């Protein structure tokens, strides 16, 4: 038998974290004893649990504690984190500490230092500051935190004012009052705007196919989107629908498949390639409206990440996916609200990069997409199971975007 | 080997029927030879195919021809239909002819007579007129058509003006321009209105949960719904949302689960039971708005069919399902357009009763529901994969319903 | 301002109930103060919270406490429950207490008495014993519990040994190791069998369409099903597949749609109607295999509840849905494990009747069905998103059913 | 008014192509007259339609004919294709002919020449041979076919022996006999093997999560997979499940989330990066089983295409998506059967590259994925809506793979 005393502190009851932690201990075959518990009297007061965890052997205990740690269960003992140097570029020492997307501190040089850029599934490198670094970017000589000793994770705290939204997180279902949910997303965007948080839109092609593109363009024009992530498909169909009036060859106006044809998206890509970039195609007047046009006009930065299914692609698409993810990382500074609009691939990709403190709304007609996002660790994501086209129309109206 | 010459006539190429028939012959292991074919020169001209079908033995051939018959493949030979008397109430003679929902004629007394009320999965009883009769309603002494000899089925012909909608029938997908589809449904309703066709709305509880109830109420008030089918759940939640402002205990206004509580639907049912009927509860002022209220006020007939999951139920619910289906049948006269709104059970039930000539739109967030309807024989149904709440708002706006 | 002291006791941390309760208080606009908290030291020890709840006015507080009560939040004060007599058959006094499916006690005559048959959405009638009674069954003169004063609800306690299954309840996703989940269901069935719990199977027609019928028949034959609920569709297609080798006219053996035809289900229903009952059709040799056959042979009771979409129906179908639900109620005694197999309607109907102590597994290819069940109050239901046909094959193999 | 005579030839009735073409003409607002029609007498004989198409103006007619052309509607007049030289690398002349995935001939130098490598959404370059070339690969000086003059497309002909499978293509539904469908896929794989066609497996991570990985490994070991496409996720979780016994940190054996932890996939990627390649990690004994292991052992080539959501990634992942697609293209020679296993991204990507003559089976628990594939032009794809883990187990058993 091996045992260790751990501490869990914060809004651990109302956020369900304490319950999940105790459940996980039992499920792993280990046992617990709650040796001390201070319950916050009101919802403003944090709670604090001190728990003795006992497992069959030290290895099992270590594995269990490593898992609990990602929910904010920290060892009671505080010692400095162990560091080890990378030997090879892009390869970590075997026992590296793997990050969560929660706020994290590292004890080094006798004091706690905050990790400046929380991101899940990274290593932590200690230098002048303490940073997360994705595996492919570590360099020989980087000093990497090993194991979870000396690492403190803060459990997720509900965003202020977000409780009104809690009902969505409990169960993701299509059977919810939709006008209301749209209003709430609008409120969170307004609240984000007030505290100077940037708003990120992550878009899939279904935004265009379902007729949501003009509404999203209104939102960009009115200043409600500060940065946009998408792929070749979204940008192409957005431009296609403005230049040729079709999306995947279907007339956006009349729904007929015959007008303009199946190859329209290729012709649009080809012309933009000829101009050299979307911005150039806007400047020269080839593209005269739509989401990408408004992004160029409003100087809203966008990152178009490539995928193996891309035709063309557009010249702005970053075909190297590692480089694309790095550019997305660089654009996340200051983002406080994220809208995932009908995209699985880019939603999961962005979810991987976002700190848990970013309010995230995932809008999709398919309930499974939202579940998938939460399964991949983006626990802060709230799901809205609805049709993205009409949703964007209502959202733009709600925010007074013309 | 056994063979027979059959005839298939009508819009059999553009409606895909000829292709399906040939495919089905091969799939069953039989063979065909097209001995004569007249192709309509334009889309207004019918085509006509004369086909020799050969199968391994007479039984196999008979089974195959029985199946082909339901698509409108009729034997070239014309003889009178065979009739047999029922011996027992509610039980048919073993080889009875089972109907499709297509227009059908029976050759009897030396001439073709139209079946006055096409409905699938019924028997045909020959009396003063030729009628479909569901199994449970046949009575001893009824003369029932046996086998498909002397029965002629007319292949489905596309509703005039409906071609504009064809693109929906090809593949049911959520990735369609939704504003456009809403506009098209509105057009078909207007066109139905112009030719004095009645409009049927079939409603599931998700209409209320997603916030669509006030919009459907507008449509009823403005005269766009002539008859309504639903179950206990829809009617209860519609009344609950008007009397108590909640749906399944969730505030329709604020989305919060705590206001009013989980038992609201029970209390509403109980009070309506106390008044004796929905109409009485409207008259006395207990119910002051909503879909059911408008139905009572506008004298729009409704049929509420019971189900085993019902709480209460409301006094208007017909708890005997055979009787409920009979009442639905009685209300179908003159119906030309049917909207299936977020309901699987009642959509399939109504689909079973509707002639194939009724234009049917099935609106659901779940693509599988629409597929299921077509799988069950309602081939005329067109699917719109979207969120029913916002859809109804847009539809009511489109039709100018206030 | 109005306030009241309430008590919540049991496994309220690991079952997430405490967190939900605190969340619900805040969401309703009220406030709380935890005045006393005893945390169970291990998972065998219950916890106990004493909470002061304050709301804006007494009405709001009452509504909130009524809602909290259904999770097991009981007033600290104990007084006798208020009783009121019904005036009219089938109508309750307006302020009746509406039940949950949790274990419940009523304080009457100065002492706590257990409700003998917990069922959600019922009234509680106090007579020689204290019973839940559905609205339609109360009779004038019945003494009904009013409000939640003097009513004590016990929070759901995880079934012993069920923790191994907890991982499923957290998120319902198709991305789980399926062989493992099948094994776990088998274990729970074996464990149910050992403690003499009866096993209930609730079946939809997709069991037959996906090829699961012979496997379920094996399970019935081997004694793994003690009672079966279904509708006309399941029973008809099960018999059709055995008598004619088809399901909805599709050959179960060869998948071809042409063999035997679309009307097979009608012919089968008609013949069983001729014989008078499924049991008679089995005895006379018309039905020689399948699930319904095995139920008759093994004397496994079944309830077939009617629905408005039924063809025929089979003579055993109870066409009055209120009577059908009453028969289902009568068959639930001793049921400890319930399998919901690819059915929304009957799963929700059965979920409405089951006490929360029954271990419930909901197997469906569509994630939304499982969410719906939980949304309707059957919180104990665990979801398995998979294809029911292959699932039943693996389950029968796992349990050694031949 | 403008009009033109076109010819459509082949199995155009049973493949529904004629019906679609006529429908599309009307939908576009144009008109047709069938001036000649030869119907094939049996299913072995081709049919031939000569159709006059009339549209409002020459431009409209040209756009319509361009669209019809992709179904195999060719101009009756035969003249040489127009060619134009590319001016810039990676940019096509504006009016380039955009390919379908059907067999295609180009009339050049006075005779028809076959396009050697049909692929959709490409240009056709005429040199020593006539080839499709994706946009990004054309080089200045390449002579590109302009418009559809002088281009002849052959309508899709059903693969010999595939008619038995037709029932799947009509409607994609989960309600099908699954054991049967598995048997049919096995038959098509055997038939492919007999005619020396290569078999391609395209895999998503859900193959591993649902427990399908060991079964797919059996298939690879037994020689039933000749080439494999996947992404970083599939390969990582396959290796993780073999090295550490988990998939996304969930124990494959016990389903518990706690064993081994959330960072397992990162550790596995890191170690494979240390070894330099999957093959190296197999050779050194780090990876001792699973799909990737068997691929290395059996020398089955694989292409791992990168995506923006990748962690790591594995050293074998091609992070430039354009290069990844080019490698996939290179591996498609000789592929006759393709299995798309629980992947949207890679299924659509592969569907874009495959000629229509490749028999394609798309297995997914979500019906929408299959619809999406067909919407994107891969009309030959047949859908099986089922759970991929159990499906692979049954398929491997059916094929006797141990």
pLDDT tens-digit series, residues A68-109: 888 889 988 889 999 999 999 999 999 999 999 999 999 999
Q: Taking residues D161-172, what's their average pLDDT?
A: 42
Q: What pLDDT is recorded for position B123?
A: 97
Domain-terminating residue out of D47, D76, D105: D76
Instruction: Say if B121 falls within a structural domain.
Output: yes
Of A336, A335, A229, A354, which is closest to residue A291 (Cα–Cα)? A229
Q: Does A165 reside within a domain?
A: no
A90 contacts on D by Cβ (under 8 Å): 273
Q: Tens digit of pLDDT for each residue in C99-119?
A: 999 999 999 999 999 999 999
CATH of the domain at A248: 3.40.50.10690
Cβ partners under 8 Å of residue B112, min gap 6: B105, B106, B152
Note the pLDDT of residue A164: 36
pLDDT higher for D260 or B353? B353
**Shared-domain flag, residues C101 and C68:** no
**Residue D384 in contact with residue D361, Cβ under 8 Å?**
yes
Within 8 A of D248 by CB-CB distance, chain C residues are 175
Return d(Cα B265, Cα B282) in angstroms, integer: 17
Q: With a threshold of 0.85, tell me whether the complex ipTM lies above it.
A: yes
| SS3 of residue D289 by DSSP | coil
Which of the two residues, D358 and D11, has the higher pLDDT score?
D358
CATH of the domain at C133: 2.40.420.10
In a domain, D166, yes or no: no
Question: What pLDDT shows up at residue B41?
Answer: 84
Give the residue among B269, B295, B280, B282 at the shortest CA–CA distance from B217. Answer: B295
Please state which of the ranges B303-312, C256-265, D355-364 shows the lowest mean pLDDT.
C256-265
Residue C164 located in a structural domain: no
Residues B296 and B178 in one domain: yes
pLDDT tens by residue, chain A, 402 residues: 899 999 999 888 877 788 888 888 888 889 999 999 888 888 788 899 999 999 999 988 988 888 888 888 998 888 999 999 999 999 999 999 999 999 999 999 999 999 999 999 999 999 999 999 999 999 999 999 999 899 999 987 755 444 433 333 444 567 777 888 899 899 999 999 999 999 999 999 999 999 999 999 999 999 999 999 999 999 999 999 999 887 766 666 666 554 446 788 999 999 999 999 999 999 999 999 999 999 999 999 999 999 999 999 999 999 999 999 999 999 999 999 999 999 999 999 999 999 988 999 999 988 877 777 766 667 778 888 899 999 999 999 999 998
Pairing relationship of beta strands C335-341 and D302-305 according to DSSP bridges: unpaired
> Distance between alpha carbon D211 and the CA centroid of its chain, in Å?
25
Count of domains observed in chain D: 3
Interface residue ranges in chain C relative to chain A, Cβ cutoff 8 Å: 13-16, 18-20, 22-23, 26-27, 31-35, 37, 39-43, 49, 163-164, 166-167, 170-175, 367-368, 371-372, 374-375
DSSP symbols for D235-270: HHHHHHHHHTSEETTEETTT--SSSS-TTHHHHHHH
For residue A178, which residues of chain B lie inside 8 Å, CB to CB?
210-211, 387, 389-390
Nearest by CB: C209 against D176, D210, D366? D176
Report which secondary-structure segment, H or E, holds B230.
Answer: strand B227-231
Interface touch A180/B385, C-beta < 8 Å:
no
Tell me: do A215 and A287 sit in the same domain. Answer: yes
Best residue of C383, C390, C397 to probe chain D, by most D CBs closer than 10 Å: C390
Domain boundary among B126, B157, B188: B157
B245-297 pLDDT, tens digit each: 877 666 666 665 544 467 889 999 999 999 999 999 999 999 999 999 999 99
End-of-domain residue from the set C45, C76, C107: C76
Contacts of B211 in chain A (CB under 8 A): 177-180
Q: Which of C139, C147, C167, C53 is closest to C107 using CA atoms?
A: C147
Chain C CA closest to residue D204: C175
Contacts of B367 in chain D (CB under 8 A): 367-368, 371
Same domain, D112 and D249: no
Query: Same domain, yes or no, for A42 and A132?
Result: no
Nearest-by-Cβ selection for B255 from A177, A211, A391:
A177
In what order do the strands lie in the sheet containing A123-126? A82-85, A143-146, A123-126, A130-133
- State residue C258's pLDDT score: 45
Write phi, then psi, for C134 (nearest 5 degrees). -70, 150
Look up the domain containing D12 and give its range: 1-76
Q: In this structure, what CATH number is given to the domain that contains residue A17?
A: 3.30.70.2690
- Write the residue in C63, C248, C307 that is nearest to B307 by C-beta: C307
Instruction: Answer yes or no: is D167 within a domain.
Output: no
Nearest to D37 among B39, B172, B174 (CB): B39
CA dihedral A141, A320, A344, C181 (to 10 degrees): -60
| Tally of CA atoms within 13 A in the half-sphere of B98 that contains its CB | 25
The per-residue pLDDT for range A138-188, each reduced to its tens digit, is 999 999 999 989 999 998 775 544 443 333 344 456 777 788 889 989 999
Are B167 and A257 in contact (CB < 8 Å)? yes
Residues B252 and B330 both lie in one domain: yes
Between strands D143-146 and D82-85, the pairing is antiparallel
Q: Is residue D26 part of a domain?
A: yes
> Is the residue at D162 inside a domain?
no
Judge whether D230 lies within some domain: yes
**Residue A3: per-residue pLDDT:** 94
pLDDT per residue over C57-97, tens digit each?
A: 998 898 888 888 888 899 888 899 999 999 999 999 999 99
| pTM recorded for the entire structure | 0.90
CA atoms of A307 and B54, how far apart (whole Å): 52
pLDDT of residue C259: 44
pLDDT of C172: 59
Q: B173, D19: Cβ pair inside 8 Å?
A: no
* Claim to verify: residue B257 and residue B281 sit in the same structural domain: yes
**Residue C63 and residue C83 in one domain:** no
Q: Which residue of C has its CA nearest to B59?
A: C260
Task: Let me know whether B228 and B326 are in one domain.
Answer: yes
Residues ≥6 apart with Cβ < 8 Å to D330 = none
Assign B133 to helix, strand or coil.
strand
Residue C284: predicted pLDDT: 97
Nearest to D33 among B41, B164, B375 (CB): B41
Clarify whether residues C294 and C348 are in a common domain: yes
Do A46 and A179 lie in one domain? The reply is: no
Residues D360 and D261 in one domain: yes
């Amino acid at each position: 038998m091996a045992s260790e005393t751990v501490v869990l502190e914060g809004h651990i009851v109302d956020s369900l974290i304490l319950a999940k932690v105790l459940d996980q201990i039992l499920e792993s075959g280990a046992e617990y004893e709650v040796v001390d518990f201070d319950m916050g009297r009101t919802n403003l007061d944090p709670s604090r649990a001190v728990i003795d965890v006992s497992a069959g052997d030290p290895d099992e205990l270590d594995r269990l504690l490593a898992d609990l740690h990602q929910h904010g269960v920290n060892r009671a003992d505080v010692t400095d984190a162990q560091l080890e140097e990378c030997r090879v570029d892009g390869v970590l020492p075997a026992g590296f500490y793997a990050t969560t997307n929660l706020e994290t501190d590292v004890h080094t040089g006798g004091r706690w230092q905050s990790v400046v850029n929380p991101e899940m599934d990274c290593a932590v490198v200690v230098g002048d500051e303490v940073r997360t670094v994705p595996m492919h970017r570590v360099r020989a000589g980087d000093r990497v935190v090993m194991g979870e000793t000396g690492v403190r994770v803060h459990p997720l705290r509900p965003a202020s004012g977000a409780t009104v939204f809690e009902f969505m997180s409990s169960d993701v279902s299509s059977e919810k009052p939709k006008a209301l949910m749209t209003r709430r997303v609008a409120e969170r965007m307004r609240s984000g705007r007030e505290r100077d948080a940037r708003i990120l839109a992550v878009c899939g092609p279904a935004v265009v196919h379902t007729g949501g593109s003009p509404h999203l363009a209104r939102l960009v024009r009115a200043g409600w989107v500060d940065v946009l992530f998408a792929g070749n498909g979204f940008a192409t169909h957005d431009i296609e629908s403005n230049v040729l009036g079709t999306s995947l060859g279907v007339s956006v106006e009349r729904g007929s498949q015959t007008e303009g044809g199946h190859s329209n998206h290729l012709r649009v890509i080809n012309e933009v390639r000829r101009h050299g970039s979307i911005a150039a195609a806007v400047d020269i007047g080839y593209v005269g409206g739509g989401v990408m046009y408004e992004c160029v006009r409003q100087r809203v930065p966008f990152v178009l990440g490539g995928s193996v299914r891309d035709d063309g692609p557009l010249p702005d698409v970053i075909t190297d996916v590692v480089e694309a993810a790095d550019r997305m990382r660089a654009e996340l500074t200051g983002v406080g609200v994220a809208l995932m609009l009908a995209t699985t691939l880019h939603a999961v990709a962005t979810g991987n990069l976002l700190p848990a403190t970013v309010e995230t709304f995932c809008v999709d007609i398919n309930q499974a997409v939202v579940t998938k996002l939460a399964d991949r660790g983006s626990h802060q994501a709230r799901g809205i199971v609805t049709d993205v086209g009409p949703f964007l129309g209502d959202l733009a109206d709600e925010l007074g975007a013309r």
